[in-house]
Structure 1
Amino acid sequence: MTEPLHSPLHDRHVALGAKFSEFGGWLMPLQYSGVVAEHRAVRTAVGVFDVSHLGKLRVAGEGASDFVNRCLTNDLGRIAPGQAQYTLCCNSTGGAVDDIFTYLISPEEVFLVPNAANNETVFGLLSAAAPEGITVANEHTEYAVIAVQGTSSDEVLDALELPTGHDYLTFVTATYAGTELIVCRTGYTGERGYELIVPAATAGLVWDAVLAAGAEYDILPCGLGARDTLRTEMGYPLHGHDLSPEISPVMANINWAVGWDKPEFWGADALRAQREEKSGPLLRGLKAVGRGIPRPHMRVEAAGEPVGEVTSGTFSPTLSTGIALALLDRSVKLGDVVDVVVRDRREPFEVVKPPFVEPGVREA
């Protein structure tokens, strides 16, 4: 059995008393002070996450951005150098091999952040497809990713004299203590925040500085447990749950992440057919009417008949109620009340459109 990889910040997490969990082949912090406390810190103050398990790929060479654009779903032509974009790598049937963040450095260089478990797969697909003159480099373990998320995230980075205030989905190169890093106005929490892409060798220095600068803003180190409850409140899909090789972006209700007018991308024919046919299930939000807490794979029923399955489900610390994402038959409409089978009990849930909580991510 292969031993899980450790983040460059692993010793810091041990010292902070983190509880760990294996995720995507990495041993990562699940929680420190508790999921609810960490979740609320991000919603009301600031939290810091180690998400160094995320993949890192670099595509370089003349026409690199055009090559990536011919492979992945979203249209890189919509953004300029210095901007980031959410996109997907799809298979021939339209299923999501992975969802990815792309950082357009220049027409000749694109930095990609896939999910941890899919980094090697995406690397293999792009490498096999790359024409002569374009290189695809796997830099998975060369960088750490530190996410500073929450309403006071600007103040924390300001104290370190790092750039803040740039637009959502943009990034800036900066230097801290002689180390070059990238400050990205991105995140997976729905709150205003930044992700710092830092060389692995100096990640500890930056992590320590963020915690020290955030002390006066009640910063908390946060684990993947809070990251999951935060992203579920926003309705952000998680690959392996709400997206998969069997669940397409059309089914996941994220058509905005597909460049429908592009001449080509992987899975284009299948996705266009799905969009045209308007058949198959759709990802919807579910909000508890009662006290039920949904979990993945729980059956959803309407009038006693199965109409879908929960893909992500949790207790919302912000709303103090159960919430879920679920793949539902198209016969189920927004505003309907359905039942989720929770431990052999049928618990009522309203079908809603996420996000469940008003996002602050785009605030100036």
Structure 2
Amino acid sequence: MKLSPLHHKHLSMGVNWAEEGGWLIPEHFGNLDSEKHHLQSGCGIVDCSHQRKWEVVGRESRPTLERLLQGVALPLPGRISMPTNQVFVAGLTSDSFLFLAEQDGPSHFAEVFSGRNLAVSCAHVTEMTSVLAGFALVGKQSRAILQKMTSLNLTDEAYPPWKCSSGSVAGVQAVLLRLASPWEYALYVVRDYAEYLYDCLLEAGHGLGLRPVGVKAYWEMKGET
């Protein structure tokens, strides 16, 4: 069973576990209804490190992906697309993409990214699932919390929904996504810095209603929007 880099921290918080795709994931922290309400009225941080992640880079990455993933709209640099209900694609640069999927989501992407389909092109895929930790920050104070930790301009004009970028968050290089909900962000950082960034987010959110929330409340919230 694979573990999040925050596994021991979650244990100290009284987590209730669930299993998905061979991972132990934090389902909730004691009261699911309270967590669902908190995502609507407060601000929650959700450990999404279990998500499947692939990085595709190279000067032929876009045409190669367009050939292999027929009908999938690839995003422009700095933007995000959502080809299926459980898959996001972040256009990091003109020739660099980060694919994100739930463990129990569509397997087509896993088949494409097996390596054999990309071996003959100048496009290189790296499985990043265990390399990158991921967090969702959800709630009306999410932007205020993040803005305390980064020099990136997170105003609506500069950072609208479906925008992504790489930058420093609490002194750590991270990939930041703003998703469909006006108050929903996702961050991805190298696993070694996961606990540090998690603690920094909780500290920045002290007094702004930030608390850990499990994946079940988060998934149910997304299913209702």
Aligned to 1:128: 116
1:281-310, CA deviations, whole angstroms, 9 ceiling, x for partnerless residues? xxxxxxxxxxxxxxxxxxxxxxxxxxxxxx
1:192 Cα deviation after fit: 1.3
Aligned to 2:37: 40
1:118 Cα deviation after fit: 5.3
Q: Secondary structure at the match of 1:217?
A: coil
- How much is the aligned-residue C-alpha RMSD, in angstroms? 2.0
Counterpart of 1:68 (choices 65, 87, 101) is: 65
Q: Measure the CA separation in 2 of the matches of 1:171 and 1:191.
A: 14
Contact 2:18 2:27 in 1 (8 A): yes
Q: Secondary structure at the match of 1:123?
A: helix
Q: Measure the CA separation in 1 of the matches of 2:20 and 2:150.
A: 33
Q: Is residue 2:71 matched to residue 1:103?
A: no
Counterpart of 2:145 (choices 144, 153, 156) is: 156
Q: Measure the CA separation in 2 of the matches of 1:28 and 1:109.
A: 28
Aligned to 1:228: 219
Aligned to 1:341: none
**Structure 1 residues 203 and 162 mapped into 2: Cα distance closer, same or farther (>3 Å)?**
farther
1:149 Cα deviation after fit: 0.6
Q: Which runs of 4+ in 1 moved over 6 A?
A: none
* Equivalences for residues 157-176 of structure 1 within 5 A: 157-161=146-150, 163=152, 164-165=154-155, 166-176=159-169
Counterpart of 2:100 (choices 98, 108, 113) is: 113
Q: Measure the CA separation in 2 of the matches of 1:34 and 1:160.
A: 29
Question: Unmatched 5+ residue regions in structure 1?
Answer: 89-97, 235-364
Contact 1:119 1:140 in 2 (8 A): no
1:123 Cα deviation after fit: 3.4
Q: Secondary structure at the match of 1:216?
A: coil
Counterpart of 1:141 (choices 126, 130, 147) is: 130
**Matched letter for residue 133 of structure 1:** C
**Matched letter for residue 202 of structure 1:** Y
Aligned to 1:204: 195
RCO higher in structure (CA 8 A, sep ≥6): 2
> How does the TM-score come out when normalised to structure 2?
0.88
Contact 1:49 1:147 in 2 (8 A): yes
Aligned to 1:25: 22
Contact 2:92 2:164 in 1 (8 A): no
Contact 2:49 2:134 in 1 (8 A): yes
1:133 Cα deviation after fit: 2.1
Aligned to 2:186: 195
Counterpart of 2:78 (choices 73, 76, 82) is: 82
> How does the TM-score come out when normalised to structure 1?
0.56
* Paired positions, count: 218
Q: Measure the CA separation in 2 of the matches of 1:15 and 1:191.
A: 31
Deviates most, 13-22 or 100-109: 100-109
1:173 Cα deviation after fit: 1.6
Q: Measure the CA separation in 1 of the matches of 2:201 and 2:91.
A: 26
Question: Unmatched 5+ residue regions in structure 2?
Answer: none
